[in-house]
């Protein structure tokens, strides 16, 4: 039986500014995001009903959640396109859960892409984007999974030209953080007026990229560290590793990343960190559409 397989790469917030809290309770954000060459995988094959099989090292953390985002994406696509087809879905969960790297959002986006192919439906880019937005703020940017600047609540997305080539080391200390709790601790001020769209940056070299990032922080890092001090230990380990150009937390945490100029430097750093901290999740990887 034919199985459609889609990668669900980790979404990394290289920068994340919280502009303020809107009247509806949502937050206005600005973020430069890239997608790691590491992540989950979603498979889909024809079946009479909609089912989901969880596999992989972090499958147990999801349990048998009947409201998993992959199933929600499948139900929504079926509802919006009018198809009655089913699917046996498989989620290979390789990314830590609730870790600030968009795992659930990437899974939902991969599920949409897989089922569009399996069911032979074509809702169109606009409708597919609307479905993604209905599933979660980070799902739209995960549909294309390319370097982008995103702002507003996540639905404003501008793809960026290929960034200079670099590699990442991703590290999670085994701490799950609820995004809502991190925003609660941040206590962002209410917006005085609607912010303008950000200028789109362009980087010819890795030095230009890391120089720009040095001036644009992740505003959620401080509140996340207040909730999970282990994040500070991870950042110290990354920053001290040979070849690390920048160490920062992604999203609402607790996963952190280090930027390295090449694969060898990233692999060496990841191996050293894994030896020193065997209980941490540590992965070296490339970045899609860079170089």
Query: What is the sign of the dihedral through the CA atoms of 58, 62, 68 and 71?
Result: positive
Q: How many CB atoms lie within 10 A of CB 58?
A: 19
Q: 67 catalytic, yes or no? A: no
Query: Which candidate in 40, 107, 138, 219 is catalytic?
Result: 138
**Taking Cα atoms as reference points, which of 112, 124, 105 lies closest to residue 31?**
105
Q: Which residues pair with 5 in a beta bridge?
A: 43
Note the Cα 164 to chain centre separation in Å: 20
For residue 211, what are the contacts with CB-CB under 8 A and spacing of at least 6?
Answer: none
Query: What is the sign of the dihedral through the CA atoms of 249, 252, 255 and 260?
Result: negative
For helices 69-81 and 103-119, the axis angle rounded to 10 degrees is 40
Q: 40 catalytic, yes or no? A: no
- Ranges assigned E (strand) in the chain: 3-21, 27-47, 50-55, 86-92, 148-152, 156-159, 167-172, 246-249, 256-260, 281-286
Burial of 84 (0-12, 13-18, 19+ CB in 10 A): exposed
Q: How many residues does the chain have?
A: 291
Burial of 241 (0-12, 13-18, 19+ CB in 10 A): buried
Active-site residue list: 11, 138
């Amino acid at each position: 039986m034919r199985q459609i397989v889609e990668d669900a790469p980790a979404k990394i917030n290289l920068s994340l500014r919280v502009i303020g809290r809107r009247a509806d309770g949502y937050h206005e954000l600005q973020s430069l995001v890239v997608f790691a060459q590491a992540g989950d995988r979603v498979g889909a094959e024809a079946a009479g009903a909609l089912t989901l099989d969880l596999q992989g090292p972090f499958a147990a953390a999801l349990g048998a959640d009947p409201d998993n985002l992959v199933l929600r994406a499948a139900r929504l696509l079926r509802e919006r396109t009018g198809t009655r087809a089913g699917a046996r879905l498989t989620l290979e969960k390789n990314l830590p859960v609730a870790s600030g790297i968009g795992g659930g959002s990437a899974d939902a986006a991969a599920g949409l892409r897989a089922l569009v192919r399996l069911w032979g439906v074509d809702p169109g880019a606009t409708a597919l984007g609307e479905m993604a937005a209905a599933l979660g703020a980070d799902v739209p940017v995960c549909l294309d999974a390319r370097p982008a600047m995103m702002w507003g609540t996540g639905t404003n997305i501008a793809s960026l030209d290929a960034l200079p080539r670099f590699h990442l080391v991703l590290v999670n200390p085994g701490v799950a953080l609820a995004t809502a709790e991190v925003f609660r601790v941040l206590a962002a001020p209410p917006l005085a007026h609607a912010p303008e769209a950000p200028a789109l940056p362009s980087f010819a070299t890795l030095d230009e990229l890391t120089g720009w990032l040095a001036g644009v922080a992740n505003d959620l890092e401080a509140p996340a560290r207040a909730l999970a001090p282990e994040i500070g230990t991870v950042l110290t380990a990354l920053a001290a590793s040979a070849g690390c150009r920048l160490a920062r937390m992604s999203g609402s945490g607790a996963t952190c990343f280090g930027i390295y100029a090449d694969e060898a430097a990233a692999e060496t750093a990841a191996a050293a960190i894994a030896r020193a901290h065997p209980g941490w999740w540590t992965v070296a990887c490339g970045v899609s559409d860079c170089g």
